[in-house]
Structure 1
């Protein structure tokens, strides 16, 4: 029997690829991918859509900023923590089955979110929503890996990557339109009909792929869940508690250190377990898989980190509405969506280093350019230019990184590899959110002494910033944007070490 942790399983083995490099039926895999992309797009939009609705939710539910922050934090926590487990669950039970269960949970939770009349009920519904999303996400990548031959996977990953990139940008746009229109509840209600359509399409079009019956690593499940919870919770709550004591002897640093210790124990357990591990560590012997995980962590960090200061600047300094602020991101979404198929055709035959370097450099340059334009009087058209460039850079990152990560995955571990990749992506988002929030507070303290409450006022819909402090507030937000720019520069160094692809068709013209 072939080793399931090696980059290539032998043909003819259970769950091994056929001559085409897949274990799917002899039908076009594109309809199945399009069906799953609808649900994938929906859950990623929900990671950012709540941000512009925060003031309206506070007013509608009669709560304060400390409680409403958990509407987003609870979703991200419930989304990130189970990804390693749900990815492996797809290998065991079948990606279609796990995806449909997750989609059902997500859709029903969305209905609950819109109908709730208390912030506590909304937070609980968002936890359930996040858990549903964690069941869905790894299955989309796993289906691509198992139904598209390795040599032709670039186009499929281009669609997956474009969906991930555009969805994170569309959230604030759609959120602003719905909040200014029918009301904040509709940012959740809109998921219900979309979820029903996505379920029907996936039920009909996604194939039932072979499952891989092995023992389930329950110790690994417990260690990964506890470790991820402590680490992600500590990072998310760090700013709220000023990176100090939460209660009694419990502190943010203690949570983070404990999470890291448990995760180290998880890795040690994965290395010594005699049956099938939750995460086959042999996957990391593939240099490109390891580097692509590092790259997507930095991309997710940057995308999450740049949005917060730009949104604060747009609404506080420039006085733009949630809808107007969201519309600033339209050039980014259009550029990413337009270039995604072009990049997809390059991914299968070009060296991943050459493509991703373009993406990291263009994105870093865009944020450096944007930081120079975040003033009190920059013309809107000038602000749109670096944002469009950031969209161009994104198109050269999402698809190439995901295709490179999954190119050599054994089919029996497609779900596990997808779970690892999406976990690192989510952890990058959490790190970006926490890091930029801390930096914003620090830069406000340096540029605007005595006005630390300004961020809270903006979060609660305080309107445009007074003229006497607008310049310094703009400086603080512009300086915060340099953090994600720096992360993207690190990404350039990471992808320099990509190895040349081994799949058929690399380097050939089409």
Structure 2
């Protein structure tokens, strides 16, 4: 147990470490590690928004219907859900740095294969492999950062990664639109090559060495239950946007099967001494509270990211490139605020910061539920900028708190759970907006009224995330009091 991350309470029970001081500077090697990991995060997050923009163009060039070419996006997300469940096992088996480097290489090579895909079927197959690589690369990078930074610096370091999480999807439509306007769709994938090569060179030079350890055999049934369950739930929820109904067979059947698979995995994991993923992490109050709040925060964040482009294109009649430009204020707001959000998290605790941040997100999104379709553009840009800033102090502090609540050796499983909860929460947020928009005509609503209700619903998710963050804040206060008095039973919740 490292003395710089935890102190021991009565009976060796871990207690909260003291709050960082203003002089608690982050070593240069940690910032170098963060800079390297950001390359992988940018690739994974930017790739999704770039490819989604080009789906129609890709389908026309490959002679595939829209229903078929949609699988280019869906296959990526489903594969990502599967690999998230084995990330922790692989990190322990081969070492987290080796896993990140291998996933980076695989992501880059599959990007090349996607660019030269001769048919839609080939492209979909390569996107499956690319999604598997991304599902390993993102949590592995977060594990490396968490182990390098330690709990007292987690907020500031994760704030750097958050720039990619918030900024890349926001600028993706602009970059994708400009690329499609001047180049062929293949460049949507080829752009990953320089990122991959630079990331590999920097990773080999600067990332800390890690080695694996002898492990039990991979629990294949656990992978099927957990990976298949997550993927089925995400797929079923995403089908709501296609069918416009929650009663469609393609919606409820995958969700029911997915939940059954997850229930089976949970039962199996609780009975196993060394499960595929350690579900007992949810017995840690700080981790449980942070991931629960992160579920709702992810729903609001991903829902807003999907709803905003449609809002501009449908209600304001803007083109693809102009829509991307209009979304820049949201990404810029997040980029500006994330470093400060990280510092506030390390100083005051992620729970307190996330309570305020998610309230601010709701306050910025809720006016969009009342503005008319011809609302002043400057006002809308101001609201988006504020929403982006609020996201910087609403979502990432929850991630930092979840990682700070567990021990170093538990980080591989913790990062997998955090990403799974965010993904499923994001699918719920997107599905919620899709149901409202698709049912508007059936209830006789105008398009403006439908978007108003959708924004109000997403603001409600942010309020729920704020309420859940309040639970996290209370857990962190309790841990701090126990640490100050030398009491037992506190976990590292900062």
**TM-score normalised by the shorter chain: which range applies?**
0.7 to 0.9
Conservation of the 8 A alpha-carbon contact between 2:42 and 2:165: yes
In the alignment, which of 273, 276, 279 is matched to residue 278 of structure 1? Answer: 276
> Is it true that 1:165 corresponds to 2:166 in the alignment?
yes
After superposition, what is the alpha-carbon deviation per residue over 1:270-320, rounded to whole angstroms, capped at 9, x for unaligned? 11113x222223311221211211222222212222233332232233231
Conservation of the 8 A alpha-carbon contact between 1:102 and 1:136: yes
Query: Relative to 1, partners in 2 of residues 1:315 and 1:55: Cα closer, same or farther, differing over 3 Å?
Result: farther
2:305 counterpart residue number: 307
2:23 counterpart residue number: none
> Is it true that 1:60 corresponds to 2:58 in the alignment?
no
Task: Give, in whole Å, the separation in 2 of the partners of 1:317 and 1:130.
Answer: 33
Query: Relative to 1, partners in 2 of residues 1:257 and 1:110: Cα closer, same or farther, differing over 3 Å?
Result: same
Task: Give, in whole Å, the separation in 1 of the partners of 2:275 and 2:123.
Answer: 36
Report how far residue 476 of structure 1 moved.
2.0
1:373 counterpart residue number: 371
Conservation of the 8 A alpha-carbon contact between 2:436 and 2:454: yes
1:116 counterpart residue number: 117
Conservation of the 8 A alpha-carbon contact between 1:443 and 1:479: no
> Within 5 Å, which residues of 2 pair with 1:220-369?
220-241=222-243, 242-244=245-247, 246=249, 252-274=251-273, 276-369=274-367
1:90 counterpart residue number: 91
Task: Give, in whole Å, the separation in 2 of the partners of 1:171 and 1:86.
Answer: 26
Conservation of the 8 A alpha-carbon contact between 1:88 and 1:419: no
Conservation of the 8 A alpha-carbon contact between 2:170 and 2:327: yes
Conservation of the 8 A alpha-carbon contact between 1:158 and 1:398: no
Report how far residue 374 of structure 1 moved.
5.2
Tell me the number of residue pairs that the alignment of Structure 1 and Structure 2 aligns: 461
Query: Relative to 1, partners in 2 of residues 1:220 and 1:163: Cα closer, same or farther, differing over 3 Å?
Result: same
Task: Give, in whole Å, the separation in 2 of the partners of 1:336 and 1:271.
Answer: 39
> Is it true that 1:474 corresponds to 2:475 in the alignment?
no
> Within 5 Å, which residues of 2 pair with 1:72-87?
72-87=73-88
After superposition, what is the alpha-carbon deviation per residue over 1:353-398, rounded to whole angstroms, capped at 9, x for unaligned? 32111211111111111233350x2232121011011111111023
Task: Give, in whole Å, the separation in 2 of the partners of 1:66 and 1:57.
Answer: 12
> Within 5 Å, which residues of 2 pair with 1:76-155?
76-155=77-156
SS class of match (2:476) = coil
Task: Give, in whole Å, the separation in 2 of the partners of 1:299 and 1:187.
Answer: 29
1:465 counterpart residue number: none
Task: Give me the CA root mean square deviation.
Answer: 2.7
Report how far residue 473 of structure 1 moved.
2.1
Conservation of the 8 A alpha-carbon contact between 1:220 and 1:278: yes
Query: Relative to 1, partners in 2 of residues 1:37 and 1:52: Cα closer, same or farther, differing over 3 Å?
Result: same
2:405 counterpart residue number: 408
2:476 counterpart residue number: 500
Report how far residue 238 of structure 1 moved.
4.0
Report how far residue 35 of structure 1 moved.
0.6
Conservation of the 8 A alpha-carbon contact between 1:295 and 1:401: yes
Report how far residue 217 of structure 1 moved.
4.8
Task: Give, in whole Å, the separation in 1 of the partners of 2:213 and 2:462.
Answer: 38
What TM-score do the two structures reach when normalised by structure 1? 0.84
Conservation of the 8 A alpha-carbon contact between 1:374 and 1:475: no
Report how far residue 494 of structure 1 moved.
0.5
Task: Give, in whole Å, the separation in 2 of the partners of 1:474 and 1:98.
Answer: 47
Task: Give, in whole Å, the separation in 2 of the partners of 1:425 and 1:493.
Answer: 17
> Is it true that 1:422 corresponds to 2:419 in the alignment?
yes
Task: Give, in whole Å, the separation in 1 of the partners of 2:197 and 2:352.
Answer: 41
> Is it true that 1:440 corresponds to 2:416 in the alignment?
no
SS class of match (1:349) = helix
